[in-house]
Amino acid sequence: MAYSNIVAETKGAVGIIRLDRPKALNALCAELFKELAEALDIFEADEDIGAIVITGSDRAFAAGADILEMQPQTYMDVYKSDFLSGGPERISTCRKPVIAAVAGYALGGGCELAMMCDFILAADNAQFGQPEIKLGTIPGLGGTQRLTRFVGKSKAMEMCLTGRMMGAEEAERAGLVSRIVPLDGLMDEAVKVAGEIAKLSKPIVMMAKESVNKAYETTLREGIMFERRIFHSTFSTEDQKEGMSAFAEKRTPEFKNR
C-alpha cells in the first residue's frame, strides 16, 4: 500500500512501519496518524504477521505532534474534534506485539507514541522528552500518565515541567527502554526480536501481552487473579500441549496458533 508519510513493509512474519516525514523530523501530522492507524489495521488483520516494529529515521523517531498544524487551532476546534483521540491512540489498542525501535528524537507525541508500544529498543543516539511545556501546553497523548508509570513521579515530573531531554542511557536506567542497541544495528535487532516473538504461539503471545498490560490498569490482587485465570486458560489450547510435549520430547515446538 502506498502512503505519503510512512513506509509499511513486511519481513517474514514481521510488519514494519517506518515514519517517513523527514522534512519535519517525522512530526506527527493528521495524515501521518491516519496512515499509521491504517497500516496497523492491515497488519493486525493479517494472520501471517506475528509482531510489528515501528521506527523512524536515524535522526528522529518523531519530534512530536505537528506544531504548525496545531498552532491555528482553537479550544473549540480541538474539543469538538476530540483532537488526539481515536486514530492517534491506535497503537495502544493493538493486540499483536508492537516494538518501538527508536533512534534520534522521540519528543512530545513521538515519545508518547513510543510509550504506547509494548517495549522500546533504543539506539545509542536516542533522546526522549516531553517538551510541550515550552510551547505553553502539556502532553496530550498520554505522556504525563505513561511516563510517570515507567520512570516514576520524580523524573516524569522533572521532564514534563522542564521539557529536558533524556538520553538513551538514562532512559534505560530509568526503565523507559528495554535495551540500548548501537544505531547501525537497531533495525536488525528489532526485526530479529520481533521475528522471534512471531515464531511463538500468536494467541498465547496476545494473552501474555494482555496480562502484562493489566498491571497498569488494576490492583495487584486483581492483576494476579487475571494472570492466574489466563494462565489456566492456556491449558485449553493446542499450543500449550504442543509446547510442553515438545519440551518433554526434546524437540522444537510447532505452534498451530490454536
Rule CB under 6 A: which residues touch ligand CAA? Answer: 24-25, 27, 63-68, 84, 105, 107-109, 112, 131-132, 135, 139-141, 143
In the complex, the smallest distance separating the C-beta of residue 153 from ligand CAA, rounded to whole angstroms, is 19
Task: Determine whether 132 is an active site residue.
Answer: yes
Task: Determine whether 109 is an active site residue.
Answer: yes
List, as one string, the DSSP characters of the chain: ---SSEEEEEETTEEEEEE--GGGTT-B-HHHHHHHHHHHHHHHH-TT--EEEEE--SSEEE--B-HHHHTT--HHHHHHTTTTSSGGGGGGG-SS-EEEEE-SEEETHHHHHHHHSSEEEEETT-EEE-GGGGGT----SSHHHHHHHHH-HHHHHHHHHH---EEHHHHHHHTSSSEEE-GGGHHHHHHHHHHHHHTS-HHHHHHHHHHHHHTTTS-HHHHHHHHHHHHHHHTTSHHHHHHHHHHHTTS-------
Closer of 81 and 233 to ligand CAA (Cβ): 81
Q: Spot the catalytic one: 112, 114, 123, 194.
A: 112
In the complex, the smallest distance separating the C-beta of residue 17 from ligand CAA, rounded to whole angstroms, is 18
Closer of 43 and 105 to ligand CAA (Cβ): 105
In the complex, the smallest distance separating the C-beta of residue 72 from ligand CAA, rounded to whole angstroms, is 13
Q: Spot the catalytic one: 109, 140, 142, 143.
A: 109
Task: Determine whether 136 is an active site residue.
Answer: no
Q: Spot the catalytic one: 24, 129, 132, 142.
A: 132
Closer of 132 and 239 to ligand CAA (Cβ): 132
Closer of 135 and 206 to ligand CAA (Cβ): 135
Q: Which residues are annotated as catalytic?
A: 65, 109, 112, 132
